[in-house]
Amino acid sequence: MIASYNFRDFKKNESDREIDNTYPFTYHCSVVRSDIRNMIGGSIPIHWHHDIEIACMVDGEAELYVGQDLIHLRQGEALFINANAMHTLRAVSSSVPAGLITVRFHPDYLGGTSQTDLFARYVAPIVNNSGFSCFHIRASQTAGLKMLSSLNHLIEICQEEPPGYELRMHNLVTDFWCELFFSTEQERKRHSQILSNEHMRPMLDFIQTHLTARIELSDIASAGLVSTRECSRLFRKYVHQSPVSYVNFCRLRQAAALLLSTENNITEIGEDCGFSSLSYFSKMFEREFGLRPMEYRKQFRNVD
């Protein structure tokens, strides 16, 4: 059975690592359906997780940032997102479907623990290469066609759940990985190791834990042990926003969630999210979501 996923399900910890309790076991593969348009603001904010993720575009199209790469994913295509790669997703517009089926599994699902020879030979060369953050899979590629076939079969089996379907799913994930491994050897060699995540994660962590306080650019830079100039450069490169814009973005998303999950009035929510001025909060909220806070609450409060 394929689980459904809506904007109330997406949760992150203070370091922007996604919290997913759907399948809390290491040796499990989860298959989840969602439409990005149903997320707050029609997007999923920047996050990361230890799992490998494969986003399969089953309806419409979407834009995904993985690190500094922008990928326009169209129906019938898929995107491999490596473990620990920072990424964000957004719908193209509210009128264009953005239906995804995501396949997620921990690296250990493929080769047992990291101590095994199988893991060292076939899993580690991909998951430990932080420069190889993603791979766009298209039917026009010979290997891509084989990988898409494995993914489509995997989705069918997950829907039907025939006897022994878990074993069949594991075999198909292995088939997918085998094609990915051998078809990307040259591309992986061209990618250098990227250490920017070591600076980005502490800065993202600092923002999430200080949203209600006054945040200066110098504070964010200090958290990442970089200069303010380097801080701004990294945010432009990996988050595609300035640090200040990203802080406001996080505050507004938090406000949107509180509008739907609490009975607090607009002023309280604005203050709880770091906005001291109600008029400024309303102005920024409308700019981000196209609706004033109260209008947003009325329109989406009962949306599943």
- The interaxial angle of helices 293-300 and 278-289, nearest 10 deg, is 50
Residues 186 and 86 in one domain: yes
Q: In this predicted structure, what is the pLDDT of residue 239?
A: 83
CA distances (Å), 241 to each of 28, 131, 168, 234, 282, in order?
35, 21, 42, 9, 21
What integer pLDDT is reported at residue 180 of this predicted model?
A: 97
Q: Based on the domain organization, do 206 and 180 belong to the same domain?
A: no
21 and 116 co-located in one domain:
yes
Q: What is the pLDDT of residue 7?
A: 45
CATH label of the domain that carries residue 201: 1.10.10.60
CA separation, residue 174 to residues 109, 118, 161, 225 (Å): 9, 12, 18, 40
Q: Are residues 240 and 136 in the same domain?
A: no
- pLDDT digits (tens), the chain, 304 positions: 666 555 444 455 544 555 454 444 455 889 999 999 988 888 888 888 889 999 999 999 999 988 778 899 999 999 999 998 889 999 998 889 999 999 999 999 997 777 789 999 999 999 988 888 999 999 999 999 999 999 999 999 999 999 999 999 999 999 999 999 999 998 888 765 454 567 888 898 899 889 888 899 999 999 999 999 999 999 988 888 899 999 998 999 889 989 988 999 999 999 999 998 999 999 999 998 888 999 988 888 765 4
Task: Look at the chain and report how many structural domains it folds into.
Answer: 2
205 and 278 assigned to the same domain: yes
Output the DSSP codes for 127-151. HT-TT--EEEE-TTSHHHHHHHHHH
User: Token pair for residue 92?
Assistant: 């193209």
Look at residue 23 in the predicted model and tell me its pLDDT: 44
- Tokens 């020879």 found at: 117
Q: What is the pLDDT of residue 191?
A: 65
Instruction: Give the residue numbers spanning the domain of 56.
Output: 3-190
CB-based burial of residue 234 (10 Å sphere; 0-12 exposed, 13-18 middle, 19+ buried)?
A: buried
The length of the chain in residues reads 304
pLDDT of residue 113: 74
Report strand pairing: 52-66 vs 78-81.
Answer: antiparallel
Are 171 and 212 within one domain?
no
Amino acid at 279: S
CA distance 197 to 292: 35
The verdict on 127 and 271 lying in the same domain is no
Question: Based on the domain organization, do 229 and 91 belong to the same domain?
Answer: no
Closest Cα partner for 153 from 135, 137, 169, 136? Answer: 169
Residues 131, 54, single domain; the answer is yes
CA 130 from centre of chain:
16
Residues 100 and 248 grouped into a single domain: no
Neighbours of 113 (CB within 10 A): 10
Examine the domain organization and report whether 159 and 201 are in the same domain: no
Same domain flag for 212 and 81 = no
